[in-house]
Amino acid sequence: MILSPWLQPEAWKSGRWARLCGGVCGAVALVGVLVGCGSVDEREVAVRSAVEGFDAAAAARDGASLCAALASGTRSELEDSEHQPCAEAAAGLGLPPAGAVDGMDVYGQEARVVAAGDTLFLSRFTGGWKVVAAGCRPEPGRPYQCVIKGG
């Protein structure tokens, strides 16, 4: 599976993400500001809350809560790859504890959270911020390798 350029560590570190999306991101950001998607601070608080909820569910091995925190495409990918319902598959993954948040990048409807024990990617949906990839480790020159990722 080829992962989105957003999941490539160098794109986030070097600012290449801006070149990857060019003027489209600027237009999307402008539309987001005009429709009131929230300030950066509000989005960061919401992203942090989503990560904390996901981390608590992972620590408790609460499959139902983990699945509720996942984006629908990520849930489907997990069920397909594990050949079992999401709640069962998620509870058995043994995700690393995220721990304290070391850094956060929020760009429009996308976010990357680098924590002490994990890197997570989230997207904003109608129902709030959802995890699209978790258990991610950077691979130099390659996309992040993630335990859970959407298709």
- 103: domain range? 5-149
Report how far residue 35's alpha carbon sits from residue 12's, in angstroms, rounded to the nearest whole number: 26
pLDDT band with cut points at 50, 70 and 90 for residue 11: low
The whole-model pTM stands at 0.74
Q: Write the pLDDT tens digit of every residue in 21-30.
A: 444 444 344 4
18-22, 66-70, 119-123, 138-142 — which is least confidently predicted?
Answer: 18-22
Residues 76, 80, 81, 86: what is their CA dihedral angle, to the nearest 10 degrees? 60
**What mean pLDDT, rounded, does the chain reach?**
82
Residue 55: its pLDDT value, please?
94
User: Looking at residues 11-28, what average pLDDT do you find?
Assistant: 48
Find out whether 90 and 66 touch, Cβ atoms under 8 Å: yes
Residue 17 scores a pLDDT above 60: no
Q: Write the pLDDT tens digit of every residue in 71-113.
A: 999 999 999 999 999 999 998 888 888 989 999 999 999 999 9
CATH number at residue 25: 3.10.450
For residues 29-38, one letter each, b for 16 or more C-beta atoms within 10 angstroms of the residue's C-beta and e for the rest, the string is eeebeeeeee
User: Looking at residues 39-46, what average pLDDT do you find?
Assistant: 90
Number of domains in the chain: 1
DSSP string, 6-75: GG-HHHHHHSHHHHHHHHHHHHHHHHHHHHT---HHHHHHHHHHHHHHHHHHHHTT-HHHHHHHB-HHHH
